[in-house]
Structure 1
Amino acid sequence: MRLIKRPLTLGVAALTAATLVLAGCADSDREGEGDGGGDGASQGTEGSEGDSGAPAGGDFTFAGSAEPTALDPFFVSDGESFRVSRQIFEGLVGTVPGTADPAPLLATDWEVSDDGLTYTFNLQTGVKFHDGSDFDADAVCFNFDRWYNMPASAQSPDLTYYYGALFRGFKTGETSGDAIYESCEADGTDSAVITLKSPFAGFISALSLPAFSMQSPTALQDTQDDAAENPRQTPYSTGEGGGPVGTGPFKFEAWNRGENVTLVRNDDYWGEVAQLDRVIVVAIDDPTARADALRAGDIDGYDLVGPADLTTLGDEGFTIENRPAFNVLYLGMNQAQKPLDDIRVRQAIAHAINLDEVVSTSLPEGTEKAIEFIPPTVAGYTEDVTTYEYDPDKARELLSEAGAEGATIQFNYPTGVSRPYMPDPEATFNIISTQLEAVGLTIEPAADQWDPDYLERIQGTTDHGIHLLGWTGDYNDTDNFLGVFFGTKQPEWGFDNPELFDKLRQARQIPTVEEQVPLYEEINGDVMDFLPGVPLAHPVPSLAFAPGVEGYEPSPVQDEVWNQVTVSE
């Protein structure tokens, strides 16, 4: 049996009142089974057996910024839900610790046919789901066929975003003609053969997404009928009927809505058994409140440290861990609104922005300026693109040529949110607004609550002007950035560019990454000439931990699994 060490995953829960969440940690356990957590640091050595190799015990309480949407990872697309999923579930493919590169997980290895259509996965042997059923080739095919056969009621971006985006369609429904999945066949118990209808060079990397985790067929069959109506409200998805069942190092115990998610160690885990007894994931939506909770000892660690807290927490003896930046923050420009449909105005805005000042005043230390819409580590990145250096005089000249001097432009930015690519949206908005006004533009601020108002406005309507948004890559594939942004006509950008759409579609279907690179380099050049937005930076996301927490390995794609974490006083 091949033992694969995995990083860890982050937590979940979205509350408006941090005090309510933390208070819930103390009384969240079912049937009096021990202390509800929240004081993990003081319990970290409890049950320790020294160097014997036995689990050291104790609890680990981690704060994310929001609650999970659901516990069935196939029906979610947010990082806080995936944080919990990664503790419970595993896929055929994981990532190399500390990187976004794919690595074997429940599959020991795989072979790809020359035409890029057939993938043969050799599987780990002797692996059990948490309910005691076997993980084998039949279970793999059950999961692939389950995704493909989703009913029409579940075929929406809100419910099945990743499958729709990556597999392009389902067996039935409006998208059936575009589906790239064809079949899965079990070759004995330990080998599964997946056949695609068209090549997808990012297929292996995409399988590292929690949405494509292997789930127990036995557990899923019990809720199959309910899932057709409201898949996020089944007993499986809510944890009310036994909860989700995977193969991961932790098993589901309870989801106390508005309080926490509690998981317990899987003593029968096929890989490296966790040392922690339990993990408790709470939600604190405000970065400052998360920092205060760490200082108070209510939590052992948290995600998305605000820039203002990085230095002070370090000085106070807390541990700061940085994730490698695998993201991009950008200023989007909606061409459905005048004068943003004029390329000269878009160029003027780009030349008006002093990126050095934006980074130094509103983004974490270590943030790199961006010159295009993908990070440097992604295939197809090239420095051979048009760049727009800070040049206020050039900006004024372009605005004059376009007849847009003094034009009023709505500037949308979100409130009530902290994202890895956008830790302090208001600070970023303020500095860019000042720079744009300095070249003669009139800025009309428009702030909206992140969820649901801001995202619905930016991505669902054309009622916006320039806006702050970004993206953290889900897996290492260029299509996961450029295809997400510019693969189709979208309200966010307000343009229709069939040539760009066709190029991205063509690049996606090239069988190998190596063959894709020249076309993606060309597309990056095209995008920066067309200038639908201004790529700003690749911010470094940070996590903070109490001094006794060890073994947490940050991942650029948040593939962080907690079976190697220990907590001591």
Structure 2
Amino acid sequence: MKKKTLAATLAALAAVGLLLSGCTGDSGTGDSTDAPAEAVTDLKIGNFLDVTSWDPSLADIGFDGPYLSAVYDALIALDKDGNPIPSFATDWTVADDDLSITLDLKTGVTFSDGSDVDADAVVKSLEYLQQGARSGEAYTHVASFEKVDDDSVKINLTERDDTILYFMGLGRSYIMSPAAIDAGTLAAEPVGSGPYTLDTATSVAGAEYHFTKVADYWDAASYPFTSLAIFPILDATARHNAMLSGQINVNYGDEANLDQAEEQGWNVAQRVSGWVGLQFTDHTGAKLEALGKVEVRQALNYAFDGAGVLAAVGGGAGVATNQVFPDGGDVNDPSLNDTYAYDVAKAKELLASAGESDLALTMPMSPIFAQWQPAAEQAFKDAGITVTWDDMQQPDYQLNAASYPVFIAFLAMDGNALATVARQVTSVQWFNPEPDYTKVPEVTSIVDTINSTRGDEQLAAVKDLNKKLTELAWWSVWYQADNTYYSVKGVQVQPVIGMMFPTLRYITQG
């Protein structure tokens, strides 16, 4: 069976919505000489997916970043480590009771249709985003938005929300022209106040998008390129050839081309992006009694050789780990990676002690995940576990996978620790429709501490949670997979947590 590249897998996952739009610890190589890079003024990006929608309420965070950040201003951005930083919102203040956030706004800016970007426009955009099918995830705890004065707005919350600013910075705070919102035309014709405008005359939907730089843009220093073009090229080989020919100078890369990229003198940037392994939707035995036993979940960790699966299926592009907090981040603890060192005998011993030596599992399978199926089958067989696969088409996997107590998953990660807790543990997600952490007192108590503290104390509690979840084998994580980006000399790409392709802010000259 031919192994899919990570890019091909991610493209397929995104197409059916299976990838959570989704780190730290980057590595990079560049020109082997110390000669200064020639300045590059024309940015030509090879993305591996077409724009989902020009409407920010419907767009995908992970893959639409370059497209949307070209034409829209965001209220809040993120630094490379997932921390919210000012953008169009120059500052913000969280109320003492944690129930409101007041944003100070940039003034004197207009949309591409000539209307003012003011507090009224920001409120209307936020209300629109809250109702969005995708963008609404950032505003689940918002009661209302209100204009305070001409250059500030207030977000009123129903309860404390430690993740709202992060999700806004990740791609859920783009400001849109009120007239375009009312007209319902944003999906086809973006109207924002970003550093570029879409040139519809020279762009070809699905093939190439060309942009014109906005004169006297307020944050021009963050967007130094005089021209911009984005080419959605789904095939990794075609995208690599486009890089070789000069059609593009930034590429979402295939790790198989790493040696040639270095031979070409391209800059290489890599960061972990998502975890691969078994997602357990049951930790209490509600769906499958055996999974309510920690020894069984631990056995399903010992049974898998994560490093071996990474080498065989992931091409070695990633890090073998059993944690969902990104490798290299503040919470990930490398010492925990030896907790479940590959040990089939230990897996069998734990199953026997739990009275589950004859464990039988039924799991869903689709073409996307077929590349991991042989490794999974072998691991189950070696541990004496019988598995039955329910084959289904790709679109059905998301609809049905979480109804099973366990399934193979590839889920994007967040570098922001609190967002990781929310998305991976406490909040309802397609892959975890009924979070059961509240039924495990030792987990609930730590989550309560996280939700009631701040700063160093809160971070310490998140680290405690990571250790406890590892101990309880909350997942069977095999490895964290890398994203790889190639760029010519003179262009640098900074991978950003949670963004499969970073926004333009993180593609710079240098």
The answer, yes or no, to whether TM exceeds 0.5 is yes
49, 58, 64: which one pairs with 1:66? 49
396, 410, 413: which one pairs with 1:472? 413
Partner of 1:204: 165
Q: Partners in 2 of 1:290 and 1:430 — Cα distance?
A: 29
What is the DSSP-based 3-state SS (H/G/I as helix, E as strand, rest coil) of the residue aligned with 1:458? helix
TM normalised by structure 2 equals 0.77
Partner of 2:379: 435
More deviation, 370-379/341-350: 370-379
Unaligned runs of at least 5 residues, structure 1: 1-9, 17-49, 169-178, 224-234, 417-424
64, 69, 75: which one pairs with 1:86? 69
1:127: Cα distance to partner? 2.2
401, 408, 432: which one pairs with 1:458? 401
1:542: Cα distance to partner? 0.4
1:410: Cα distance to partner? 4.7
524, 532, 541: which one pairs with 2:474? 532
Partner of 1:398: 350
Partner of 1:250: 196
1:248: Cα distance to partner? 1.6
Using a 3 Å threshold, how does the CA distance of structure 1 residues 453 and 508 change in structure 2: closer, same or farther? farther
More deviation, 330-339/351-360: 330-339
- Residues 274 and 562 in structure 1, CA contact (< 8 A), matched pair in contact too: no
Partner of 1:136: 118
TM normalised by structure 1 equals 0.70
Q: Does 1:124 align with 2:103?
A: no
- Residues 14 and 68 in structure 1, CA contact (< 8 A), matched pair in contact too: no
Residue correspondence of structure 1 range 492-531 to structure 2 within 5 A: 492=431, 496-499=436-439, 506=448, 509-510=451-452, 512-531=454-473
Using a 3 Å threshold, how does the CA distance of structure 1 residues 563 and 436 change in structure 2: closer, same or farther? closer
The percentage of counterpart residues that share the same residue type is 20
Partner of 2:495: 554
Q: Partners in 2 of 1:306 and 1:404 — Cα distance?
A: 41
How many residues align? The count is 464
Q: Partners in 2 of 1:66 and 1:14 — Cα distance?
A: 7
- Residues 296 and 356 in structure 2, CA contact (< 8 A), matched pair in contact too: yes
Using a 3 Å threshold, how does the CA distance of structure 1 residues 406 and 81 change in structure 2: closer, same or farther? same
Q: Partners in 2 of 1:483 and 1:108 — Cα distance?
A: 27
Using a 3 Å threshold, how does the CA distance of structure 1 residues 14 and 327 change in structure 2: closer, same or farther? closer
Q: Does 1:295 align with 2:244?
A: yes
Q: Does 1:167 align with 2:139?
A: yes
- Residues 411 and 444 in structure 1, CA contact (< 8 A), matched pair in contact too: yes
Q: Partners in 2 of 1:201 and 1:458 — Cα distance?
A: 29
Residue correspondence of structure 1 range 54-453 to structure 2 within 5 A: 58=42, 60-96=43-79, 98-148=80-130, 150=131, 159-160=133-134, 162-163=135-136, 165-168=137-140, 179-187=141-149, 189-223=150-184, 235-237=185-187, 239=188, 243-254=189-200, 256-272=204-220, 274-284=224-234, 286-303=235-252, 305-315=253-263, 317=264, 319-325=266-272, 327-335=274-282, 336-337=287-288, 339-363=290-314, 367-375=318-326, 381=332, 387-405=339-357, 407-410=359-362, 412=364, 415=367, 428-444=372-388, 450=394, 452-453=395-396
Q: Partners in 2 of 1:444 and 1:319 — Cα distance?
A: 46
C-alpha offsets along residues 408-466 of structure 1, whole Å, 9 cap, x if unaligned? Answer: 545556545xxxxxxxx65554444433333333455667665x24333324xx25743
1:394: Cα distance to partner? 0.9
- Residues 50 and 232 in structure 2, CA contact (< 8 A), matched pair in contact too: yes
- Residues 170 and 498 in structure 2, CA contact (< 8 A), matched pair in contact too: no
Partner of 1:4: none
Using a 3 Å threshold, how does the CA distance of structure 1 residues 469 and 75 change in structure 2: closer, same or farther? same
Partner of 1:24: none
1:276: Cα distance to partner? 3.4
C-alpha offsets along residues 174-223 of structure 1, whole Å, 9 cap, x if unaligned? Answer: xxxxx433332232x22333332322223332220222211122322333
C-alpha offsets along residues 237-273 of structure 1, whole Å, 9 cap, x if unaligned? Answer: 1x2xxx1122221212346444343333222421125
1:487: Cα distance to partner? 1.7
Q: Partners in 2 of 1:127 and 1:213 — Cα distance?
A: 14
C-alpha offsets along residues 515-568 of structure 1, whole Å, 9 cap, x if unaligned? Answer: 4334433433443344332123333210123x456243333343430696569x
Q: CA RMSD in A?
A: 3.7
Using a 3 Å threshold, how does the CA distance of structure 1 residues 72 and 306 change in structure 2: closer, same or farther? same
- Residues 450 and 462 in structure 2, CA contact (< 8 A), matched pair in contact too: no
What is the DSSP-based 3-state SS (H/G/I as helix, E as strand, rest coil) of the residue aligned with 1:324? strand
Q: Partners in 2 of 1:400 and 1:306 — Cα distance?
A: 42
More deviation, 406-415/103-112: 406-415
Using a 3 Å threshold, how does the CA distance of structure 1 residues 310 and 377 change in structure 2: closer, same or farther? closer
Using a 3 Å threshold, how does the CA distance of structure 1 residues 264 and 552 change in structure 2: closer, same or farther? farther
Q: Partners in 1 of 2:11 and 2:274 — Cα distance?
A: 22
- Residues 101 and 156 in structure 2, CA contact (< 8 A), matched pair in contact too: yes
Partner of 2:23: none
Partner of 1:40: none
Q: Partners in 2 of 1:435 and 1:194 — Cα distance?
A: 50
1:505: Cα distance to partner? 7.0
- Residues 279 and 409 in structure 2, CA contact (< 8 A), matched pair in contact too: yes
1:102: Cα distance to partner? 1.9
State the one-letter code of the partner of 1:539.
A
1:124: Cα distance to partner? 2.2
- Residues 409 and 444 in structure 1, CA contact (< 8 A), matched pair in contact too: yes
Using a 3 Å threshold, how does the CA distance of structure 1 residues 83 and 73 change in structure 2: closer, same or farther? same
Q: Partners in 1 of 2:430 and 2:70 — Cα distance?
A: 35
Using a 3 Å threshold, how does the CA distance of structure 1 residues 79 and 216 change in structure 2: closer, same or farther? same
Q: Partners in 2 of 1:372 and 1:14 — Cα distance?
A: 24
1:371: Cα distance to partner? 3.5
Q: Partners in 2 of 1:563 and 1:216 — Cα distance?
A: 25
- Residues 108 and 121 in structure 1, CA contact (< 8 A), matched pair in contact too: yes
Q: Partners in 2 of 1:527 and 1:433 — Cα distance?
A: 25
Using a 3 Å threshold, how does the CA distance of structure 1 residues 282 and 447 change in structure 2: closer, same or farther? farther
C-alpha offsets along residues 78-109 of structure 1, whole Å, 9 cap, x if unaligned? Answer: 4223331122222221123x432221111222
Q: Partners in 1 of 2:190 and 2:449 — Cα distance?
A: 36
More deviation, 243-252/323-332: 323-332
- Residues 369 and 537 in structure 1, CA contact (< 8 A), matched pair in contact too: yes
- Residues 94 and 105 in structure 1, CA contact (< 8 A), matched pair in contact too: yes
Using a 3 Å threshold, how does the CA distance of structure 1 residues 258 and 91 change in structure 2: closer, same or farther? closer
State the one-letter code of the partner of 2:194.
G
- Residues 326 and 413 in structure 2, CA contact (< 8 A), matched pair in contact too: no
State the one-letter code of the partner of 2:310.
V
Q: Partners in 2 of 1:249 and 1:217 — Cα distance?
A: 19
- Residues 57 and 128 in structure 2, CA contact (< 8 A), matched pair in contact too: no
1:405: Cα distance to partner? 4.0
